[in-house]
Every structure is written in C-alpha cells, then in structure tokens.
Structure 1
C-alpha cells in the first residue's frame, strides 16, 4: 500500500516543479524586458535656437554632430540623417547624441529654430514650454560677425520676447521656471573644497541679477569675418575689446555663456552645449577651459565670469553703467526705438556704428589717433557712377580733338628735323662734280631776293613771269656748273 501511495504522489511533485520552473523563466524574461525598456528610455532635451540666418542655423546643428556633422555625435553609420526644416516660421530637426565610440546614444535632442523675433510667431513658441520640457530646455542666440553693430539690439529683442512668453504661462510653468532658475543659481554658488565638502559662494556684483528662467548661450558665428572688419572697416583692437567687454557684461546678468565659432574649424561648442544640458559626456573629455585671449576663439563658460575679469581686458570700461543701462533696456516699459535714456544699447550703437546709416564718426571714439574723416563711405549707385564717367570721357575726347591739329604740326616739324639729322645733307653727282642740293637752293633763294629788292617788279603775265624766273634759275645753275668745270680742267695738268 505504501508503494502505491508513493507512486501516486510522484506526478503531483513533478507538475509542481515544472510550474515553478516556468514561473521563474517568466520572471527572468520580464526582468530582462523591463531592463531593456528602461535602457531605451533616453533623456530628451530641447534646444531653442533664436536668430541667425538659415545657413548659420544649419552650421550650428552640424557642429553638434547632426545633419552631416562629424564631430563626435550625430547618427550611427548607415542611418539616414534627419533634414533641417528652417526655411519658414518655426523650424525643427532632431539628432542623437552619441558617446565617443559612436555606439551608445546618450540623449536625443529636439532642435527648434526661428530666425526673426516676429510677434506673430509667439503662438508657435508658447507650446514648447511645459512643466515637463522646461527643465530640459536650453536657449541659444546666434549672432553673425557680418553685422556686429546689430548684436545688442538683437539680444534685447529676443530677451524681451522670451520674457513676454514666460509671463503669459500658467502657474505650473512659472513655478517650474523658478525652480530651474534656483537650480542654475545654486550650481554656480556651490563649490566643492579640497576636503570634499560643499562651500556656498555668494554671487558677485552684476551676476545673475536678471535671470531669464532658462540656461542661455550666445554663439557668435562666422568669426573669420573679424579680419574683414579690421581690413575693410578700419576696426582696431580697441573695438574688438569693447565688443567683448560689452557682451560679457550683458550676458553676466543673465548667467549666460559665450563662444565664438568659425565655419569648418574645430571648436568646443559641442561639449559646451552638452554641459549646459547636463548630458553626461565621455570620461576622457577634458573640462571646458575659458579663452578670452584669442579674439576669434573666445569661450566664456557658465558661472566663470565676473566684473573684475571684464575690467582686465581694457581699462576705462564702465561695467556698472553698462549693467544698469541693460536693465533699463530690457524692462517691460522700454521701447525698441533709439534714444532710451541711460540705456546700454544706445551706448553700444554709438561706438559700433552701422555703416548702412552713413554716419561719418564711426569708431573714432575708440581710436586714440583720431582723424577728422570718417571710416565709412556711402556707395554711389552704379548707373549714376557710370553716367559721370561717361561725361568725363566725352569731355576729354572733345579737348583732345580741339588740340590735335597744333600737336600734329609740331609733330611733323619735329619729325622732319629728326629725319634731316639722321640722313644729313643731300648731294648728287653732275659731270663728276659733287653738288650740294641744299646749298644750291639757298643760294638761288638769296639771288631772287636780291633782284626783287633792286627793282620794282612790274606785274607780269603770271605764265611768262613764272617761265622767266625758271629760265634765270636754270641759266645761273648751268653757268655755275661751267665755271666750276673749267676751273677743274685748268688746274688738273699741273697737279
């Protein structure tokens, strides 16, 4: 009986073992799937690119590694790169941030692009700012070195536009903006000492006193145009230093970073953007190092600048006045029209003149050597210039035609004299006697003049008078020849 009972219990134990093994396999697969799913949940970041031309925006995206870039990012090999749609209104593209080995995706970037601060585009921008996206968003303002005289006006317009959008958001978004601002400020003021403890450093004067609400980076692209400004516009080191000091003073108030870039030249813009978005980069990458010496490779990292460092560039720059004036410029009650009292933008445009306005003073405020004349010259219309040149050519042609006759006579006389000098006296042989034709003609002329002075001429028949004169000349000519011939024959026997 016991054996039968044991045999009856075996199938039940086998079934329990099979079910437990099956449940373990299901748990294993579910854990694996959940781990894979969690690894596929990539952090999504957003970049809002403001200003710049369509080409400038494309170069910026390519510098991050997307749309054909080759600087440590972008898509994997064989994958089709996404297009950049930035021709109309609000543009968009995306790209994956890869690690140094181009194997793992660190994050996915959604890049929104807008060129003009048109108020009609505000409804397109407002949906981009939600409580979920605001902590992961970076604002980038593009400035072109082709027109540095418009920089302050451009920054002012974009800052005021963003502030207008942020004030119109709901309460949840505004609370999120306050949290982002506090986290960004804490990131600057917290420092780790040598012992590993955190030390709170107070903010310096003029630093982060006009927070925008989001991290801000200003990219001044086409830095290769600096040489053109120096060569064609007469810029000197004083002008470039003034622009750099002004930019740093203004951006310090917003806690922003600054970088100059050159097309097709390596730059640290990618690690700068990744650090601003808090995307973990390669462990082999060196930390960002500031550069304020090379005028075409400037890099001011976030939380690094101060008034003291700005003053070191060149003495005499009013950091306090520019900072106070900028607060007036971006206040809600100010206007975009020039002439704002105590505004910083007016000071900038007074020194960095727009050549299109035809102002003759230009950069002489910074040029110690001075000079009474202006640097800029207004261009004349092409048709007006050509018409003036045509009038000058016609007047010159008429003058040459009027004086051509006298010049030709002088030229002919001079030519004869030169021919006589080169050829010499003309002689010919008559009966073995060398006769100087020029001397003979002179003697005939003298003889005719003597006869005319001795007797009054009676008006003869023109034909007979002309024949007589010719006969006399021939008679005198042959008489002289006969005399010379006889004298030659008489002297030859005694020789």
Structure 2
C-alpha cells in the first residue's frame, strides 16, 4: 500500500510538471512572438533623419536636391528652404521621408541654422557641402569657409559632452568599419567582406590614418562637386589639362580626409553620379546596402566613399603633377581668369533740370537759331529786332529775296528798314521821311535788290525816289520820329 501511494504521488507530480512545462512553453512562444514583432518594429525606417545642404549661390544646391527628388522643375527659394526625399526599402518593404534643409548661399543667413541643426537633431543629421566646377578657383575656399561656419555653429550648440563624444566616436567607427563592397553578396545580407579581418575591439584600437578626421565635428559629411560637365568648357576655353584637374582633386580629397567626408563629382545635366549619391545617402543614414566601389578613373565622375581614401592613394595623383607641386597654394595654380566682359564704368547720375528752367533754355536756343533761307542782310537784321515792311497803295512791299519784288520797291524796303534802326531822328516833315506813296516805283538800272549794295548809294537813290513820288502825288507823310543819315 505504501508503495502504491508513493507511485500515485509520483505520477501526480509528473503530471503537474508536464503541465507546468506546457505552460512555460506557451509563455515562451508568446514572448518570442512579441520579441519578433518588437524587432520588426525597430527595423522600420526612422522618420527623424535630416540632410543639411550648405554651399554658395549658383553652386547647384537646389538643382541637385530636385534631381534626388526626381523633380523636373526645381523651385528656388531664399533663406532656409525645406524639402523632403522619398526613401523606400524594398528589402523590408518600408518607406519614409528624408527631410532636407537647404541654406541660402549668403553667409548672413547663418543664424537660420538653428532651425535645421539643433541639439535634438544633431545625432540624426548628415551635412552636404556643395561647390560647383564652374568656378574651380573658388572650390577649396568655399568648402573651407562653409566647414568653418558649420564648426562654429556646432560649438555653440547646447550638447552635453557625452553626446558630443559619442557622435565623434561613431564617426571614427564608421571610417574604420568601411568595407569593400562584394558583388557576390546578397544586398540584404548582413554579412560583409571586411578588409581587416579583425574583431571590433581590435579595430577600435587601431589609430586613424594620417590626416583623417583631424577636424571631427561628430557629423556625417558628404562633399559634392556639381556641374562637372563644365570641365570640357574649362579644357576648351581656358586650356585646362589633366594636370590641373588632378591638382584640384588631390586638394579636395585631402580636405575630405580632415572631416572624414565622402566625395562625389556630379552633373545633373548629364545625370552623372546622382543616382549613386542618392543610394549613398540612404546607406549612411538608414544603413541600406551600397555596393558601388570607389571610382577615380573618370575625372568628371569621381566617387570616393568615406573610409576608402588615404594619403597613399592620393599620392598617386602626384605623378601627373609636372609643372606644380602638391602643396602649392591652390589659388596660385588654379588662377581665376580675367573676365571677358567689358568693364562697364558706372555712369554718373544725371540730375533732371527744373521744368521751367529747361523750357526757358530751349526757348533761348530756338530764338537764337538762324534761318538759312534768309539773305545775309536779313539775318543780320533779325538779330536786332523784327523787320517792318512798308506797303504802297498799289502793291505790298515784300522782303528782299522774293521773286515778286521790283528793284524800286527793294530800294525803298531797305531804306525804310534802315530808318527804323537809326539812333538819331529828323523832323517829321523833312525830305526822306517815311510815308505812303501812290505811284508805281521807278525802275533803276544802276541799283538792284541783290546783296552787297552800298549803303550810301541806297540812301541817295531812296531820297531821289521820294522826291519824284512827292511831285507826282502830294501826300502828307506820317509823323514818325526817324530820319536818314544820308
């Protein structure tokens, strides 16, 4: 009986343990399902990532972002522009939007950086420094000035030391963890072919190569040289050779080493490296696969991922530098050519005259103009006063030069005109006083109405003509205070 009781108790305990195991397995199953759901939720593309684009005006920032967006007609704004790029992960069947901030090329708008890059967004921001090949002499200066402006802004952020150091260490780790892409690997596979075959601790302890991350801002940086299609124009118009392009490239690559930046030569016009730049951005921001190796053969389509380059690889370019040295001052070698446009001197501003003064001046000019249709005698008289014509009862006397004026009437016209401008006068009844005459003029062969007639001869003939007219018809002369000096 005792044994039977023990057996029954053991069987009961065994049943309870089996029941407990089933319950534990059921709990573990639910835990595993919840863990899987949680992990899948963590694998979704984050929506808080940002790209900040810095560069001078006319460097192609807006066009580049429009190309990454797939927009044909970019809209250029001012100040601080905002846009977004659609990002899709086909492997995980997920998508999100990447925020893009484009700062105006005027450094005076640097105060707007606080809206795009603050302490909260700092760990989730990638920076693109953009310069254009249309001004190759200014590329290095532009990159250095914008990097310095970015560094000043980062120093002013209210970041705690732990966050700042973590971001810097992450930059170092990304550089050291760079792997050569393997075409034989599945893009979604977590396996990577590393060039070091070292464990993580050993890799972290390795020193950085010479010149790498000497200015570690804690930000992921990509340097983009736009409008590389203009390099053919530099060769044609300014006689640029491969030597100049290699000199420029080695300086830009050395700059990239200092900030731990990647380098892309792009052309939106010819669609060079734009798609690769999009894939690289998604790789650095969302850890999506990027399988394209470094490209340094084509001078207008250079692609150097962060972590690939070093001073030894850059020194290969030195072999092509014959007329210059690698450390020569950039501006001394890549000289800005003189502008072909004519130097237009700024015209002095002309103050408009007061309206009445202008009209008075024009009136004086009109009065002083000489009429070319008048004879020399008439033009001289026009400068002193108006001409008064004396008419006879039968026919009106016309100015000299008219075809209808007879010689006698011409003589009288000259005579009476001369009387009007004499300073001294005679008595009203003196012979030769002006008056109306009724007889027809006498033809005089010795005198004519042409220019150049002697003044004394005109006076004598005029007096004789008046005496003759007086004898023919007595008419009381008008009372005029004028006389003749004849």
Smaller-chain TM-score range? 0.5 to 0.7
Answer whether contact 2:50 2:121 (CA < 8 A) is retained.
yes
Correspondence for 1:234: 239
Alignment of 1:111-260 (within 5 A): 111-119=100-108, 121-172=109-160, 175-190=162-177, 192=194, 197-198=199-200, 199-200=202-203, 201-260=206-265
CA shift, 1:40, in A, is 7.4
TM-aligned CA deviation for residue 202 of structure 1: 2.1
Matched residues in 2 for 1:197 and 1:39: separation?
A: 25
Q: Can you give the 5+ residue segments of structure 2 that lack an aligned partner in the other structure? A: 1-29, 179-193, 346-486
- SS at structure 2 position matched to 1:205: coil
1:311 matches 2:311: no
Two-structure CA RMSD over aligned residues (Å): 3.5
2:278 equivalent in structure 1: 270
TM-score (norm. length: structure 2): 0.53
Q: 1:313 to 1:169 in 2, by over 3 A?
A: same
Instruction: Tell me which residue corresponds to 1:88.
Output: 78
Offset at residue 196 of structure 1 (A): 6.9
The DSSP-based 3-state class of the residue aligned with 2:212 is coil
SS of the residue 1:43 aligns to: coil
* TM-score using structure 1 length: 0.52
Shift in CA distance, 195/207, structure 1 to aligned 2, threshold 3 Å:
closer
Match of 2:66 among 47, 62, 78: 62
Quick one: distance in 1 between partners of 2:213 and 2:325? 18
Query: How far is the alpha carbon of 1:84 from its aligned partner?
Result: 6.5
Q: 1:314-333 counterparts in 2 under 5 A?
A: 314-315=318-319
Verify the 8 A CA contact 1:84 1:91 in the aligned structure 2.
no
C-alpha change, 1:242 and 1:127, in structure 2 (3 Å) is same
Q: Give the Cα separation in 2 of the matches to 1:140 and 1:52.
A: 12
Distance 2:43 2:318 in 1: 51
Residues 212/41 of structure 1: CA separation in 2 closer, same or farther (3 Å cut): closer
Asked if the contact 1:206–1:252 (Cα under 8 Å) also holds between the matched residues in 2, the reply is yes
C-alpha distance in 1, partners of 2:44/2:277? 27
Q: Note closer, same or farther for the CA distance 1:223–1:306 as it changes in structure 2 (3 Å cut).
A: same
Native 8 Å contact 1:240 1:295 kept in 2 = yes
Mapped contact 1:86–1:92 kept (Cα < 8 A) = no
Q: For 1:252-401, list aligned pairs within 5 A.
A: 252-263=257-268, 264-267=270-273, 268-277=276-285, 279-281=286-288, 287-315=291-319, 347-355=329-337, 358=338, 378-380=340-342
Q: Contact 2:221–2:261 at 8 Å: present in 1 too?
A: yes
The alpha carbon displacement at 1:145 in A equals 1.2
Give the count of matched residue pairs: 291
Structure 1 residues 68 and 86, CA, compared in 2 at 3 Å: closer, same or farther? closer
Alpha-carbon distance in structure 2 between the residues aligned to 1:350 and 1:109 = 40
2:97 maps to which of 108, 112, 132: 108
C-alpha distance after superposition, 1:351-408 (max 9, x if no partner): 11112xx3xxxxxxxxxxxxxxxxxx7444699xxxxxxxxxxxxxxxxxxxxxxxxx
1:477-492 equivalences under 5 Å are none
Change (3 A) 1:179 1:86: farther
Partner of 2:49: helix, strand, or coil?
strand
**Deviation at residue 54 of structure 1 after TM alignment:** 6.5
By how many angstroms is 1:45 displaced?
1.0
In structure 2, C-alpha distance between the alignment counterparts of 1:209 and 1:48, rounded to whole Å: 22
- Rounded to whole Å, the distance in 1 between the matches of 2:170 and 2:111 is 28
Secondary structure of 1:314's match? helix
- TM-aligned CA distance change 1:202 to 1:117, over 3 Å: farther
Q: Where do 1:21-100 residues align within 5 Å? A: 42-53=46-57, 56-64=60-68, 66-68=69-71, 86-100=76-90
Q: Choose 1 or 2 for highest CA Rg.
A: 2
Describe the superposition over 1:52-102 as per-residue Cα deviations: whole angstroms up to 9, x where unpaired.
Answer: 5478223322333x2537xxxxxxxxxxxxx9664110000112201348x
Supply the distance in 2 between the matched residues of 1:193 and 1:152 (Cα, whole angstroms). Answer: 31
Structure 1 CA distance for aligned equivalents of residues 196 and 344 of structure 2: 69
**TM superposition shift of 1:138:** 0.6
